[in-house]
Amino acid sequence: MRPPAEYLQPTEAPSLPTIPALNYDLVDYASRLKFALQRCNADKRSLRQWQATSTP
């Protein structure tokens, strides 16, 4: 049995700001990285829940 396709979609990694970057650019980049990590963790939780409900 395969997990739902939406749990297997890749999460796009934010692109690194060009050099020289301003502090604002670096803070924005860190914020986007944090959001991407949160999405990955949500997918992991969803996969664990799916596995728990689909395992006989």
Distance (Å, whole) CA 29 – CA 15: 8
**Mean pLDDT along residues 21-49:** 90
Sequence spans of domains, the chain: 17-54
Which residues make Cβ contacts (< 8 Å) with residue 39, sequence separation at least 6? Answer: 11
* pTM, rounded to two decimals: 0.69
pLDDT tens-digit series, residues 8-23: 888 888 888 887 778 9
